[in-house]
Structure 1
Amino acid sequence: MNSEPLRIGVMGCADIAWRRTLPALTAHPDVRLTAIAGRDPGKARRFAERFGGEPVTGYAALLERADVDAVYVPLPVRLHADWVGRALRSGRHVLAEKPLTASAEDTERLVALAASRGLALLENFMFLCHSQHARVRDLVAQGAIGELRTLVAEFAFPPMADGRNIYRPELGGGVLTEVGVYPLRTALLYLGAGLEVRGAHLQADEARGVDVAGAALLVAPGGETAHLTWGAERSYRSRYALWGSSGRIEVAWAFTPSAAHRPVVRIERQDHVEELTLPAEDHFAGAVAAFVNRVRDGVPSVLEGETVLEQARLVDQVRRRALGPGGQAAPAVPTIGGSRGTR
């Protein structure tokens, strides 16, 4: 076991880094934050004043430092393929915000690059590191709802202020890559590999040129289905339900629980309803711990490997089903039935 602290540099001064990931990184006893890089020197300095490390101007300068073993990348998704690749080629382990890239092709290239160099490459789907999902998986495996037939997952929130990356197509904006990936990843978690997208719809915002809502129907090799909905123009919702042959399990705060939230898992059967209240925990801290354990001790993580590739392929399938082979956002998007959908 390596007893030296893992020296991490941060590539980008994103809001998610400020609010959640950097507090978790700096709280880990085996992590030392050595540098924070940003295009804006003032912003990098402000981050460093709060979290420690040295402010660095420019992402390339971060990779020239000798005191960086690993890199956390919270950049806009369109920049991931380039900068994650550069970090890996420089010999650094990488924890990248989700999604890893904007396409399955780029994701496959980066995963292969990391494997060829013996480096850890984890996609920060932090919700997967919350133990509530492991508890639900155990319940399903124990037959709590009989045989799993259908999964329903929903993730949406009200409109956000203009200027956020989600509304900027040049940075890879749109809710499929920012929000839709959560329900898709949930489908993979419970239904496994080999999912096929049988139908998809993306609703576009004509003024912004990005998708602001979506839905998909997936079918597993065994015939199980997943009904997924996401969006940025709705009231808040963050939940999924598993419907089996003899019951149903629902997780009401699935993707964005605070560190103080005590999850409630609801189990419904024909003549019985049970609610399990689970301990509170910080899934950002869980993701950081998974990354550190992977880098230092080689512990496999749910945030890496073949499932990352499956996720990227599903996103591409949804685009192709909803938008056609080009997969480009447009002012009006074809629906499953071929009619034109507008905001």
Structure 2
Amino acid sequence: MSEDTGRPVLRMGVLGCADIAVRRILPALAEHRSVRLVALASRDGARAECLARRFGCAAVTGYQALLDRDDVDAVYVPLPPGMHHEWVARALTAGKHVLVEKPLSTTYAQSAELVETAARLDLALTENFMFLHHSQHAAVRGMLGEIGELRVFSSSFGVPPPDPASFRHSVSLGGGALLDVGVYPLRAAQLHLDGELDVLGACLRVDERTGVDVAGSVLLSTATGVTAQLDFGFQHSYRSTYALWGSRGRLSVPRAFTPPREHRPVVRIEQQDRLTELTLPADHQVGNALDAFAKAALSGTDRPGLRDALLRQALLVEQVRKAARVVAHGEAPA
């Protein structure tokens, strides 16, 4: 796990050539000081060879062949959610630390099993919510005194319709808007609201042709009555935001989840007869997320805390699904 300089370096492999891996993770891995990209696996050998040449690593045909390598300490798993349980379990059993794209799995029971395996083998297991590692959210927490006592948290994450061939339209591959974009507002609510969150109600709009949910809304509450109003879907114009509304004002973050590396976030604070806009420094949330994962893998830092966060998120998603009223796509609620 170390280079000739003596500085600890995490040797990583990548299982799959998903779009998010190609656009965001592989470039960040290739330039990261604490990580060395060793190999990339695909079921399509030619695809693996093409990307391996581009990012300066070895090409591997087949996911298990990468897990069998002795020169890989950790893996990044950007496969469709329906494949996460199998391949995260295999990676952990092979002794690899795992960074997996959200969601960890498609059910709470599967997620709990993976968390238990990671704990038993003393391995880092992290869900790749990159937005958590952008400095704008810590800055927001430092500004909450400006809005008084918090009353309502709201968040929306919507994107235009994915390609019809995307796994997002497949039930067997773990598709659907809740697991794809809905998990972001849910995770943001946990970031900013204290204590456990109760699901007061939810609605999921399901496409009758594919059986996957394409949009939804959720109402949550803390034990003290602070509510969270969340909306998500992939039948929308792009929106990626959250806001905190308090007794003396409202604070909003208009580019909450996917700000580009060069983007300087703007935070708006609305108070009586006063509007303040603060421009924050740009930050590299992808690189920061890799920093945090490498630290957890190399030093064991906060592994129990990371596992607790995985379970809280998985449980909340399952509670939303169980509480949701399901409405067929194109059918208005009665």
What TM bracket, shorter-length normalisation?
Answer: over 0.9
Distance 1:216 1:67 in 2: 44
Deviations 1:56-92 (A, max 9, x none): 1111111111100001100110111111011111111
For the residues of structure 2 that align with 1:47 and 1:165, how far apart are their CA atoms? 21
Q: Which runs of 4+ in 1 moved over 4 A?
A: 330-335
Give CA deviations for 1:117-151 in whole Å, capped at 9, x if unaligned: 111101000001000011111222xx221111110
2:126 to 88, 111, 122: 122
Instruction: Tell me the alpha carbon deviations over residues 207-231 of structure 1, each in whole angstroms, 9 at most, x when there is no partner.
Output: 2221110000001111100000001
Specify whether residues 71 and 130 from structure 1 end up closer, same or farther in structure 2 by C-alpha distance, changes over 3 A only.
same
Distance 2:241 2:158 in 1: 10
* Partner residue, 1:266: 268
1:31-78 per-residue CA deviation (whole Å, 9 max, x = no partner) reads 111111111111111211111221111111111111000011001101
The answer to whether the 8 A contact 1:216-1:228 is kept is yes
Is 1:246 the equivalent of 2:248? Answer: yes
Identical counterparts, % of pairs? 52
Distance across 2 between alignment mates of 1:183 and 1:323:
19
2:131 equivalent to 1:91 = no
Q: Which of 67, 75, 87 is 2:71 aligned to?
A: 67
SS at match of 1:85: helix
Q: Secondary structure at the match of 1:304?
A: helix
Deviation at 1:332, TM superposition (A): 6.2
Consecutive unaligned residues of structure 2, counting only runs of 5 or more, are: none
Is the 2:34–2:291 contact (alpha carbons within 8 Å) kept by the matching residues of 1? Answer: no
Task: Kindly state the Cα deviation for residue 157 of structure 1 after the two structures are TM-superposed.
Answer: 1.4
User: Quick check: 2:25–2:286 contact (8 Å CA) kept in 1?
Assistant: yes
Match of 1:55 in 2: 59
Alignment of 1:1-343 (within 5 A): 3-140=7-144, 143-300=145-302, 304-322=306-324, 339=333
Judging changes above 3 Å, is the alpha-carbon distance between structure 1 residues 138 and 334 closer, same or farther for their aligned structure 2 residues?
Answer: farther
Please list the CA deviations of residues 183-204 of structure 1 after superposition, one character each: whole Å capped at 9, or x if unmatched.
1001100113410111100001
Task: Give unpaired runs (5+ residues) of structure 1.
Answer: 325-329
Tell me the distance in 1 between the aligned counterparts of 2:258 and 2:100. Answer: 18
Q: Separation in 2 of the partners of 1:130 and 1:289?
A: 12
2:265 counterpart letter in structure 1 = P
Distance in 1, matches of 2:214 and 2:185, equals 15
